[in-house]
Chain A
Amino acid sequence: MRSSALIILGSILFINVTPAVSMEQTQTSIDVLRAELTAIRSDYESRIAALEQRLVATEQKLQQTDKAGAAAAEPTIAAAEIETVRKGNRSAVGENVFNPAIGVIFQGSAWDYRKGPANGVPGFPLGGEAGAIDEGLAIGETEIDISANVDDKFSAWLTLPVVIEDGESKIEIEEAWIETQALPAGLSARIGRMFSGIGYLNSKHAHSWDFADQPLAYQALLGDQYLDDGVQLRWLAPTDLYIELGGEIMRGGRYPAGGADDSGFGARTLFARSGGDIGDSSSWLAGISYLNAGSEGREMGDEDDPIAFNGNSNMLIAELVWKWAPRGNWKDKNFVFQSEYIWRKEKGHMLLPDGRDLAFDAAQQGWYAQAVYQPVPRWRVGARFDLLSADNPGLAFAGTELDPMGKTPKRFSLMADWSNSEFSRLRFQYTRDESGLVSDDQWGVQYIFSIGAHGAHSF
């Protein structure tokens, strides 16, 4: 402060001294200057003194606060430290705080066929994923589920099964969809690859099935489960009675559709369901679904020598589920009955492995009924009956896989499973299989274990 005052003083002197003028003028000028200088000096000196005083006062004040606030200053420092730790935690977590929920489901089985895995079901050449459980010891699908909210309006779900095909591990995209979370008026939409909303079992993941395999009707008519790329719209009525309506437009790339007909808009579905409670202990769900699919060269039957279907399929599914638990207390004891009926009519042309292309117009149908009872915590027992029947498509098909050969394929299964927790399950299953040309007995053990995040199961 003082040095800057001197500089100012000097520059004033310099400016005022330089002009060369007469002696007289100079003398008066010097007097004036001297007076001015004195005035300036006293002015600055007083200001400097004032400033010095203020500085001293401030310094004293600071020292006082330091002494007086010593105790108060400590918690401030502690709080600051906590804040630093918290910030540190946050930055340590960093990018992965938004990690989606991840779960892995392990499945495997040991399966014994007295006479070997069935060689097809007469009248029902299988398509899609349908097929017998691997004989002997084998791991099934290892399923990786990843899900999270995308933002305030969308959520996403990804299911990546790791499957073993011909001895090689392969990661598939089973489901990959985005779902709306904020549509008004009870609407929701889904887009991507998904299990179709038709039927009761169609959209259930394999790990939540009550038996190690799907009912015959699902194997024969839906290729285990209808799953495809598409869009789905659902609407829930604003009523106390549960009423849900939905529909889908699918690519038609997978069984029971095939070949992405109609330029990749090959399948359409509609479904309606209702449900409610009866007293405290019982609840029910009933529904009806419709699928219309075009097919261009849909393959089915023998993998090496498949039949190719060109034409149109219409399918109807009726579902009924009844669940019971004493006073609705599910944990200790419960009972579930479920049944579905599937009817399918296909019209078009069948290109047979022998090269013949024959007109086809026939209906096929199947149903199953099953009951699962949990008498005590952790243990469940169940029974299932399956039946199929197919129209005879005509003499031309005699001896092909489409010839029902006068049979009504059927199957009866019993199971018992033990779950240590919701995340582990061991299942024993016996099946009397009369679906093939030769009847067989199957015995099997299956395990299902899950780690990580596990979403809530729907009804």
Chain B
Amino acid sequence: MIRSIILSSLLLSVPLVAEAKLTIFACEPEWAALAEEIAQGQVKAFSATSAHQDPHYIQARPSLIAKVRRADLVVCSGAQLEIGWLPALLNKANNPKVKPGSDAYIETSALVQRLDIPDSIDRSKGDVHPQGNPHVQTNPHNITLIAKVLAEKMIALDAKQADVYRQGLASFMQRWTAAIQNWEQRGAVLKGKRIITHHKSWVYLQDWLGLIEVATMEPVPGIPPTAGHLAGLISKFGNGGADLILRTPYQDGKASAWLSERSGIRAIALPFTVGGTDMATDLFSLFDETINILLGEKP
């Protein structure tokens, strides 16, 4: 009897040991996906938001506070993307390990060359990000830079799995570099295409593929499209003045459908992040999908 109790308690304790894995809290799905690539599936990273949620506007929900409480590593885009909710999570989670400035807190946008840094910071210009545009994941070269730092952090925090993470990074880099070449070859024809975007969500994609943003549907960042502003866009770009209308899955499709119908410009929703379309299940398929949709090879 006693032996069986000891045995069963030993068996029960096994999953507890296995539980001692790195617990990663990512603010956005792309960073959770990147951590999982590096961990080669050994770590399940949690994403606070999904592709269908605008990461600017998230409630500091109890479930998210509980997740931050147990996190070993927090990975977020930063540049004030999460300013409306992440500070509330960090403040209530009572987890000093992952506070900003600590080794276990990464702002990925700080690791790349940020674009759209405003010359002047004034709220009359809308929801401005003083440190620049936070949506850095739309350029795969940014992900290359971020992967290296993320892997270093993961190795530092979980030295036992260092080999797994090193191999994971090496394998990811090899496949990623090849994939980027492929995307760039296929996307070369997109250079110079003029786009109208819903919000300034795509500046890094534009920079990468050479797309030219001619207008945004939001009159100023963060302020929803108005009928007057959209009518202005039709008169300005209606006669072949733009090639594509772009939005993310979480942005209401009504405005871009309305504009597309009246201007004849093709409107598309790109996945934006992992989970943004049914096919975009990881970082590779995210960019496959992005290029496919941009090229019109997929509706």
| A residues lining the B interface (CB < 8 Å) | 181-184, 186-188, 234-244, 273-277, 280, 283-285, 323, 325, 327-332, 377-378, 420-423, 451, 455-459
Subset of 26 A-B contacts with CB under 8 Å = A181-B99, A188-B94, A237-B69, A240-B63, A240-B66, A240-B67, A240-B70, A274-B62, A275-B61, A275-B63, A277-B63, A283-B62, A284-B62, A325-B59, A328-B50, A328-B52, A328-B53, A330-B54, A330-B59, A331-B54, A420-B223, A456-B86, A456-B87, A457-B84, A457-B88, A459-B60
| Complex Cα gap A53–B30 (Å) | 70
- B87 neighbours in A (Cβ, 8 Å): 455-456
Measured CB to CB, the closest approach of chain A to B198, in angstroms, equals 12
The reply to whether the CB of B24 lies closer than 8 angstroms to some CB of chain A is no
Tell whether A242 pairs with B94 under 8 Å between CB atoms, given A329-B250, A456-B88: no
Q: Quick one: closest B residue to A234, CB to CB?
A: B94
Instruction: Give B232-255 interface residues, CB cut-off 8 Å to A.
Output: 250, 252
| Complex Cα gap A129–B114 (Å) | 48
- B250 neighbours in A (Cβ, 8 Å): 329, 331
| Complex Cα gap A265–B70 (Å) | 35
Once the chains bind, are A236 and B65 in contact (CB under 8 Å)?
A: yes
Once the chains bind, are A331 and B65 in contact (CB under 8 Å)?
A: no
Counting contact residues on chain B (CB < 8 A from A), the size range is 35 or more
The reply to whether the CB of B126 lies closer than 8 angstroms to some CB of chain A is yes
- A423 neighbours in B (Cβ, 8 Å): 123
Additional 14 contacts, C-beta under 8 A, given A186-B94, A236-B93, A277-B63: A237-B66, A240-B67, A241-B66, A242-B66, A275-B61, A325-B59, A327-B50, A328-B50, A328-B52, A331-B250, A377-B224, A456-B83, A458-B88, A458-B92
Q: Quick one: closest B residue to A332, CB to CB?
A: B252
The listed residue (A183, A276, A421) touching B63 by CB distance below 8 A is A276
| Complex Cα gap A269–B252 (Å) | 45
Tell whether A327 pairs with B123 under 8 Å between CB atoms, given A277-B61, A283-B61, A455-B87: no
Once the chains bind, are A183 and B94 in contact (CB under 8 Å)?
A: yes
- B93 neighbours in A (Cβ, 8 Å): 236
- A243 neighbours in B (Cβ, 8 Å): 66
The listed residue (A186, A275, A330) touching B69 by CB distance below 8 A is A186
The listed residue (A329, A421, A459) touching B223 by CB distance below 8 A is A421
Once the chains bind, are B69 and A238 in contact (CB under 8 Å)?
A: yes
The reply to whether the CB of B192 lies closer than 8 angstroms to some CB of chain A is no
What 3 A-B pairs come out closest when comparing CB atoms?
A275-B62, A242-B62, A456-B88
Measured CB to CB, the closest approach of chain B to A400, in angstroms, equals 43
Measured CB to CB, the closest approach of chain B to A160, in angstroms, equals 21
| Complex Cα gap A47–B229 (Å) | 89
Once the chains bind, are A238 and B63 in contact (CB under 8 Å)?
A: no
| Complex Cα gap A241–B69 (Å) | 11
Instruction: Give B91-111 interface residues, CB cut-off 8 Å to A.
Output: 91-96, 99
- A188 neighbours in B (Cβ, 8 Å): 94
Q: Quick one: closest B residue to A459, CB to CB?
A: B60
Measured CB to CB, the closest approach of chain A to B271, in angstroms, equals 15
Instruction: Give B149-188 interface residues, CB cut-off 8 Å to A.
Output: none
The listed residue (A328, A377, A421) touching B123 by CB distance below 8 A is A421
Measured CB to CB, the closest approach of chain A to B94, in angstroms, equals 5
| Complex Cα gap A458–B92 (Å) | 9
Q: Quick one: closest A residue to B49, CB to CB?
A: A328
Tell whether A242 pairs with B96 under 8 Å between CB atoms, given A329-B53, A329-B54: no
Q: Quick one: closest B residue to A238, CB to CB?
A: B70
- A241 neighbours in B (Cβ, 8 Å): 66
